[in-house]
Structure 1
Amino acid sequence: MLSNPKTKYQPYPLVEMSQRQWPSRSLSQAPVWLSTDLRDGNQALFEPMNRERKLRLFHELVRLGFKEIEVGFPSASQTDYDIVRHLIDERLIPDDVTPMVITQLREDLIRTTVQSLQGARRAIIHFYNAVAPAWREIVFGMQVPEIIAMVEQHIALLRELTDAQPETEWVLQYSPETFCMAELDVSLAVCNAAIRAWDAGPERPMIINLPTTVEVSTANVFADQIEWMDQRLERREHIVLSVHPHNDRGTGVACAEQALLAGAQRVEGCLFGNGERSGNLDIVTLALNLYTQGIPPGLDFSDIAAVARIAEECTALPIHPRHPYVGDLVFTAFSGSHQDAIAKGFAAQKPDAPWRVPYLPIDPKDLGRTYDSIVRVNSQSGKGGISYLLERDHGVLMPRRMQVEFSAVVQKKADASEAELSSEALWQLFAQTYLATDAGPWRYLGHELQASARGQGIALRLAAPDGTARELQGQGHGPVEAAVDALNQVLPAVLRIDHYEERSLGTGAHAQALAIVEAALPGVAGTRFGAGRDANIVTASIQAVLQAANRLQQSMV
């Protein structure tokens, strides 16, 4: 039994406001976005990102359109320090992108932080310290005047250090950590002290960032807190008011949306809500929520699957299949009534009319998704168990996204035959779709591997669409990459491999290898899978790449 919540927990008090304005407002523009994937999100990983993965994710964030990116905690991590220096020294930060780094209020950490940013065109230094009663009394044993004096002292040091480097445009961000649990008059006093100490003004930009360090109330209470601060902060016209919601109550997105109504101009979060405990604000969800309301988010999520794959690879965290907008199953309906309504919606939808398809709040094609898997069968529909039968009877364990794709193929076949498909029929359909080496514009004839400057070379022999034999040369770090390099010489665009895995079909000396590849081709919405089966795993892998490329080419016709 749960303990009695009335005696153990106290509801967070409401904010006394007689004329709150935010409930009657509506959003009309996107906020300034700050990605904290590389710092706050990175700290929450089982295994923090190494240099290569951090740099890869940084470049992806830039491509998506982020203009402010928190790149790390250089005074606490040598890896972060080295990455900050690498970005600056190699001039990898575009002129319209501002890096941000965070530090605690300690002189040695502040000096290291400023040093890490030497030579940057523009930089944000993020100061933070906790101000809520539990932290003041239990963690630090400090009174409010002592906290204010500490903030003023360390901002004065920061001014001294940054004034000595006028070639950089310095921005201070101050966060009263645990703001959502602190007394509002205390938060206001500390923030105003920080504003005065920095001397915020037209030539000294400043950000006040108000976090829900731990969510403790409903989203409307946080909105009241933001509006209360918005009305009382000194030099408000020179302050960018920012919020950093966490998700302990599962309402991080709601907190951000209502905070924007209450006067916030900027939000901090991670692409898919990664962060300590239940995570940070999910920026993808908030941005696409705005998009569905007719507000351009200013971030490019037109190929959301590719963004998701990069995030998964860099963080080693999977994205839930029911994640809003992004999950592999989020545009898939199993219910018969849903399927019927969606089908009727597609039939009625006109190309130039506002989007009005039941159960689909956004057009999947806007996100680079396809319509292929939206209506799909399962055991409740009478044609299910596809994946189960293929695995049980044929040893084929399909990746989740391949299951979604193949179920649409099965549905089409089942509808045409108006009959149940047996396990053997499913296998034949699988082989015809993914394994047929004699189908498609390019047919596999053989290959030879050789050494190359990049590690692996290949001579790939194919039958061309006109029936002639062609030999293509390629190289890469392994046979799959080399095969892709060879194929790109004859494909209409550059093939991208999003996923690769290999499995064994059967056991013993006669077992064969099954390779599965997920690939994408510019000009084709979504991805396609290909598979290869052979006693040699390299041969199976090359055949899988070719099959995926053939299927993508056929989709372009």
Structure 2
Amino acid sequence: MNTSTATQRIRIFDTTLRDGEQSPGCSMTPPQKLVMARALAELGVDAIETGFPASSQSDREAMALIGAEVHEPVLAVLSRCLPGDIETSLKALEAASRPRLHLFLSTSPLHREHKLRMNKEQVLESVRTHVEMARRHIDDIEFSAEDATRTELDFLAEVVGVAIAAGATSINLPDTVGFTTPDEIREMFRHLIETVPGAKDVVFSAHCHNDLGLAVANSLAAIEGGARQVEGSINGIGERAGNCAIEEIVMALKVRNAFYGFDTSIDTRRIVPTSQLLSRLVGMPVQRNKAVVGSNAFAHESGIHQHGMLRHRGTYEIMRPQDVGWPDTQMVLGRHSGRAAVEARLRALGYWLDEDELGTVFEQFKAMCEKQRVVTDADLQSLMQDDSSGSGYRLASMTVSDAGHRASATVELSDPDGNRVTETVEGDGPVDALFSALAAATGVDLTLESYQVHSVGLGTDARGEASLSVQYEGEEYEGTGTSKDVIEASALAWLDVANRLLRQRQGTPAGGEVAAA
């Protein structure tokens, strides 16, 4: 596709705080929106849609907070083609250094008949009237033809022409219900940009939903058709199946720059931290196999893949994990792993074995894989040592009770020297009491940022897996633990981080998940 050596820039319009927040369970308070807006500005997005002021007081408060602190990106708000909405939105935008009013009106036959109860002439008149009304007060106006991809192409051309003539500076053609295909949306943009008067003087934008899993593909096709702005959200959150995932569209343009010839202003090293921040704010974990930001995006367990990766990273990775904010590739050891990966990990832990020794340990490793899904550094160390000396704190026993107004937890740990340490602490709930008791026993005080538990496996073989994110001395750490009991899994996840920090203090290799003694 690239016919020029010069790279052009695609504008990134982030709607995490508006369309993304509309995803069930993802609502944010105004202070949370401010935190996210700061992160989006650091990420380098060109525009942030902060909300829909006419819909709630919360969105108006969020716009005021964000406008007072975030000055570099364009700040946009959404508005229906209604005088009251426009007035409310313009007032909210007074806080913005670079304001944009985002007007929208449905255009498809289905929406005209059942949602608007308007005919074509009434739709055209509404677009003309309200864009002109807004333009008298603000220069930067984006107009969206809602459900554009299911609108008759000749009528859509009329709508776009009226919006441009009335003063719109950006034209958004949303695939509102994720219905279109790449060929269709490419042709739609190409035709309108080539035929509508004034089209080459405005920016065309794509806003694709993911109902058929085509949001990113359709956004790329829209770029091929002439769109120069893409709208999306972090982690792809949004209505129903979500929006075009910003991290995916940005990395597609970056990795395939030689083909597309476009780039963005995004600092890609900020992608993963921004994704993880959003996940914590809304309490929605990212699926492990999610492109770019999922925990498995740069993880390899297959022996064939691991062997290739050890020889040359490019065999199975098309981008570096560090370029999107991950610390490194993960070689996950499990039943699909081969000798080369196990040997490489043992060497990283300081163990150099001859062929016979490696063969013995590899057999023990395979036997361990039949009992558990993942083999961690701590597991490998246990294979190499006759006892647990130096391997950190291990959970010997625990009791958690939640009677009355305060919960209580008692933990007994085996310390690195083999001594027993027991602490009993009360807390606001069983988990708070448990983590406080572990902190007292180990002397490691962690600030909990997020905490999740879920089931791994089916039936009687199912195990609880706990994952948490904590702050320690200004740095963020993550830990995981698995057990038949979710409370024990939570304790193991906490000890996973604590033992790693203790080993770092001692200058020894950082291990992984700890096991119950």
TM-score by length of 2: 0.70
Task: Supply the distance in 1 between the matched residues of 2:476 and 2:321 (Cα, whole angstroms).
Answer: 10
2:315 pairs with 1:358: yes
Gap change, CA 1:331 and 1:131, over 3 Å in 2? same
Gap change, CA 1:268 and 1:536, over 3 Å in 2? closer
Per-residue deviation at 1:139?
2.5
Selected match of 2:251 from 270, 282, 288: 288
2:91 aligned partner: 115
Task: Supply the distance in 1 between the matched residues of 2:508 and 2:25 (Cα, whole angstroms).
Answer: 39
**1:420-453, Cα deviation, whole Å (9 max, x unpaired):** 14669979945978xx9985999xxxxxxxxxxx
RMSD: 4.7
2:297 pairs with 1:330: yes
Letter in 2 for 1:549: L
Gap change, CA 1:344 and 1:147, over 3 Å in 2? same
Gap change, CA 1:272 and 1:540, over 3 Å in 2? closer
Gap change, CA 1:215 and 1:363, over 3 Å in 2? same
Per-residue deviation at 1:129?
0.7
1:457 aligned partner: none
CA contact (8 A) 2:41 2:72 kept: no
Q: How does 1:204-215 map to 2 (within 5 A)?
A: 206-215=169-178
Selected match of 1:238 from 187, 201, 209: 201
Per-residue deviation at 1:228?
0.6
Letter in 1 for 2:321: P
CA contact (8 A) 1:30 1:297 kept: yes
1:9 aligned partner: none
1:75 aligned partner: 54
CA contact (8 A) 1:480 1:545 kept: no
2:14 pairs with 1:35: yes
Selected match of 2:364 from 415, 420, 430: 420
2:86 pairs with 1:142: no
CA contact (8 A) 1:518 1:529 kept: no
2:143 pairs with 1:174: yes
CA contact (8 A) 1:148 1:193 kept: yes
CA contact (8 A) 1:30 1:290 kept: no
Task: Supply the distance in 2 between the matched residues of 1:279 and 1:517 (Cα, whole angstroms).
Answer: 25
Q: How does 1:504-543 map to 2 (within 5 A)?
A: 518=469
**1:52-104, Cα deviation, whole Å (9 max, x unpaired):** 3222211211121113100000111111011112233xx212x3221100011
**1:168-219, Cα deviation, whole Å (9 max, x unpaired):** x631110111111111221111121122222x6xxxxx11111111233320
Per-residue deviation at 1:241?
1.2
SS at match of 2:101: strand
1:455 aligned partner: none
2:462 aligned partner: none
1:390 aligned partner: none
CA contact (8 A) 1:370 1:525 kept: no
CA contact (8 A) 2:43 2:270 kept: no
1:302 aligned partner: 269
**1:199-258, Cα deviation, whole Å (9 max, x unpaired):** x6xxxxx11111111233320110000011111233234311111111222111111112
Greater alpha carbon shift after TM alignment, 408-417 vs 62-71: 408-417
Per-residue deviation at 1:502?
9.3
Q: What stretches of structure 2 of length at least 5 have no aligned partner?
A: 340-344, 394-427, 438-443, 455-464, 511-517
1:258 aligned partner: 221
Q: What stretches of structure 1 of length at least 5 have no aligned partner?
A: 1-21, 163-168, 201-205, 347-356, 384-404, 443-476, 484-489, 504-513
2:502 aligned partner: 550
| Number of positions where the alignment pairs a residue of Structure 1 with one of Structure 2 | 439
Task: Supply the distance in 2 between the matched residues of 1:419 and 1:124 (Cα, whole angstroms).
Answer: 63
Gap change, CA 1:517 and 1:70, over 3 Å in 2? closer
**1:149-173, Cα deviation, whole Å (9 max, x unpaired):** 111222233234x1xxxxxx63111
**1:428-486, Cα deviation, whole Å (9 max, x unpaired):** 945978xx9985999xxxxxxxxxxxxxxxxxxxxxxxxxxxxxxxxxx9999999xxx
1:388 aligned partner: none
SS at match of 1:248: coil
Q: What fraction of aligned residue pairs are identical, expressed as a percent?
A: 24
SS at match of 1:361: coil
**1:103-126, Cα deviation, whole Å (9 max, x unpaired):** 111121211111112243221111
CA contact (8 A) 1:23 1:261 kept: no
Per-residue deviation at 1:543?
6.7
TM-score by length of 1: 0.66
2:69 aligned partner: 92
2:412 aligned partner: none
SS at match of 2:269: coil
